[in-house]
Structure 1
């Protein structure tokens, strides 16, 4: 919720009304979640028995509680229709983020956050960080990035906010009565994506004075995040000038749209002082040209299509790709062909999608510098699998997925596609065996559990289906739903000794967590 970038595009009154209604619903959810956080933080801090090291932020909000808070917010965000749940996009962002963090491991902090980077569907330039290492990017900001170094600079800046625990430090200065305004601030950031008017209303409804104090605090946090972000960018081998160029364009957009930007956004100014500070740091660095990866261009093409998948949106994207085809840069041409193939897939023109994808692949094969992308890019290979499944060429899709997974064994998106291809080919037993093996390695993957539940449903294994659903809910810390699924599983006719044993074990484990959830709900009702 820090590092907010100014809005440069506005939506219709209809879109504004839709977002106001949705955001009011989200406000209730987040305010409810955050109202009880003081008790959660206190209990978790006691349970950890952490030593006091003179950091007031540590005393107010433990790293564990901070992560829990972030997960609670993300549970709401993931249900938002504008959350981009796309394997290739998610993998690209997280791979880029991991590259930055691997070069600067101290940025994870002593709490060793497992960062998660994600995208939301909105043309407004914006990015934000939630507590505990969750960092979001608007599709508009990704498309506005003219180089991979520019996108990495924004990512580094947001990592800096998390690494410096700015949210915990904010709360330490405001005490727990700042939690409700903090919820309103988080919502205002989300509201600013599509509706400046909604953002103003939410901010005003969240105790404006407290919010203003929080934002005044964050001015120094912005400068601190700049410095941390610059160091991360430099250490990971990206062009530090990317931060200067991107911030410069944002500053220009602020001047152009200043009258329409909400006040709380203007209190995060992209000042000349901040840009000058980064420019001074760049001057001390030896210049080296950093080429952008082809994956960067492919991911941008994919984001452009996902940003607006309506009929008109696809037509607009096609015009943009047709114009991009005239570029002299080979990466632009390949990405444009990729984007046009993705559009054809969305329009159910599978033959055209296959033809365009093949053309893009041939262009890559002709270029010795770009050839390695064919074996290193899940963004590229995943589209081929998507098209094959759509064309009902299931055996081909399975072979392509197996080959890609062999080359990219850590790709979660390819794993999901592979299971999808197996299920489409009615190879349910093979899908079950594969999912079980994957869950040994990635037990905390809710998508795998949901896929396994789907497999069990096809097989008619009802008890196991509901156990898998319970596991998925538990991963998301939704203990009420998890316990409900266990109760359903227990009553199924095919729940034998093994299934009952699993249910009993999970029930003992989760009942404590469920009781804590009920206590929190009771506190909310009585206003504690």
Structure 2
């Protein structure tokens, strides 16, 4: 479904100022150390996931994580693409399930930046830049990065770092946390700020970080293997990264927050060597995800990508031709040639009739070429046994809205939101459905929910006040609900201003 929307990015200083004012976003800086560390391949790892409680309880961490995520939604250029989101969550939750005693209900999201980066912060939030997929060769390589970030969260490295800093330099803790925020948003500036802020305690912080990174490497490797991914992927990815950027004066953001010295590559290889080398099947979804990102989020025009995918197919410059065919179909569709895109993707629909990437693409093509009924019938059939899948549900609701079947769409979306209350695409569709129904009050209410998810409570309250004015006086139940939501948002706003 081509319902992507990205928030307009704002200046780094503006984001930093907002984050510090709300006290809501202390993001986890994951600076991989250049120091050599002894390699541990055993399973006797310390259970320190509950450490750091004196500085930050799990409950407080989740509250801060939620507020941070709301701020990021309103400030970062995020990608709200259901099919990519489903893929990322599948990879992420596969690793989370393989970990021992995850401490948070993890949440994964995409950042629309072509830089190579990924980061984690309070409450189990993991952000992945689209650029990471442009660089990776396999799903296992992506999984190795995600597993590392999950390990940082489960081991509570940020809480432990805060606790250590409070014990050693309590007077500078506020500035240090601000520097950590900045290090995630702008790595070069953040690292420089940390060096200035920490002063004489700089070596202590570096040593503390080294210990955390080694620990995350060990635990991340265990989760990677337990989840069924290639243990050699981490070393392969690090080695490729180190070799490509060894002589570059300005390395990518990933290397500023995740330095990869030769010792780190060697350590990853030694850990992997306890497992036999074997062949892993090609992940079709990873290949399609990478092609989708190239076609739509690489910063290149659809015409350029159309030529690029055609060249790869013609010269057989791809290890998985189906992904190039899929990317070509997307590029053709985005360039305005839906009929050509249909012919291109037809073989994939036959080969992968239930693949979500292919279903999403053919749905867009059907809607653009006047085949809405065929698309609706296909999605209705799949929805019958996948009612909670975001790709199927959101595409299905979108088609129903376009065909003026708004009552059905509203029912489907409201059921979906019970388990997915933070899905921005669902809220956009719900708002559109209510507007098409002529239900102005609920249209404004859905808009208010979306604004609240971006920490914009003032605007959300304004929307709810409009909703109240549009609600008939005899609809007491809806009035009570709206008034309760106004009070809730006002309380949240007051709490933020008090921080």
On whether the aligned pair clears a TM of 0.5, the verdict is yes
1:334 aligned residue (307, 310, 322) = 322
Alignment correspondent of 2:492: 513
Aligned length: 463
Alignment correspondent of 1:308: 298
Alignment correspondent of 2:233: 242
Q: 2: CA distance between counterparts of 1:125 and 1:444?
A: 26
Q: 2: CA distance between counterparts of 1:462 and 1:266?
A: 48
Higher RCO structure (Cα 8 Å, ≥6 apart): 2
Shift of 1:139: 2.0
Shift of 1:210: 2.6
Check the 8 A contact 1:129/1:135 in 2, yes or no.
yes
CA shift in 2, pair 1:69/1:54, >3 Å: closer
Q: 1: CA distance between counterparts of 2:25 and 2:285?
A: 42
Alignment correspondent of 1:466: 444
Q: 2: CA distance between counterparts of 1:304 and 1:410?
A: 28
1:358 aligned residue (346, 363, 387) = 346
Check the 8 A contact 2:117/2:253 in 1, yes or no.
no
Alignment correspondent of 1:393: 371
Q: 1: CA distance between counterparts of 2:128 and 2:470?
A: 43
- Give the 3-state SS of the residue equivalent to 2:54 in structure 1: helix
User: Which protein is richer in helix relative to its size?
Assistant: 1
Check the 8 A contact 1:127/1:135 in 2, yes or no.
yes
Shift of 1:254: 4.0
CA shift in 2, pair 1:406/1:215, >3 Å: farther
Shift of 1:515: 3.1
1:384 paired to 2:358: no
Q: Comparing 126-135 with 302-311, which one deviates more in the overlay?
A: 302-311
1:415 paired to 2:393: yes
Alignment correspondent of 1:499: 478
Alignment correspondent of 2:109: 118
CA shift in 2, pair 1:71/1:403, >3 Å: same
Q: Comparing 380-389 with 270-279, which one deviates more in the overlay?
A: 270-279
CA shift in 2, pair 1:91/1:323, >3 Å: same
Shift of 1:24: 2.3
Check the 8 A contact 2:71/2:455 in 1, yes or no.
no
- Give the 3-state SS of the residue equivalent to 2:108 in structure 1: strand
Q: 2: CA distance between counterparts of 1:85 and 1:183?
A: 28
Q: Could you tell me the TM-score, scaled by structure 1's length?
A: 0.79
Q: Comparing 321-330 with 287-296, which one deviates more in the overlay?
A: 321-330
Q: 1: CA distance between counterparts of 2:76 and 2:362?
A: 26
1:168 paired to 2:146: no
CA shift in 2, pair 1:437/1:123, >3 Å: closer
Check the 8 A contact 2:22/2:497 in 1, yes or no.
no
Q: Could you tell me the TM-score, scaled by structure 2's length?
A: 0.83
- Give the 3-state SS of the residue equivalent to 2:143 in structure 1: helix
Q: Deviations over 1:14-60 (max 9, x none)?
A: xxxx98x72222222222233798xxxxxxxxxxxxxxx99661111
1:143 paired to 2:134: yes
Q: 1: CA distance between counterparts of 2:454 and 2:324?
A: 37
Alignment correspondent of 2:59: 64
Shift of 1:238: 1.0
2:86 aligned residue (85, 91, 94) = 91
Alignment correspondent of 1:41: none
- Give the 3-state SS of the residue equivalent to 2:123 in structure 1: coil
Unaligned runs of 5+ in 1: 1-17, 38-52, 193-198, 366-372, 521-528
- Give the 3-state SS of the residue equivalent to 2:278 in structure 1: coil
Alignment correspondent of 1:343: 331
Shift of 1:493: 5.2
Shift of 1:338: 0.6
2:287 aligned residue (269, 272, 297) = 297
- Give the 3-state SS of the residue equivalent to 1:352 in structure 2: helix
Aligned residues: CA RMSD = 3.1
Q: 2: CA distance between counterparts of 1:101 and 1:128?
A: 16
Alignment correspondent of 2:266: 276
CA shift in 2, pair 1:62/1:92, >3 Å: same
1:488 paired to 2:479: no
Alignment correspondent of 1:251: 242
Shift of 1:358: 0.9
1:29 aligned residue (18, 23, 45) = 18
CA shift in 2, pair 1:447/1:340, >3 Å: closer
Shift of 1:329: 9.2
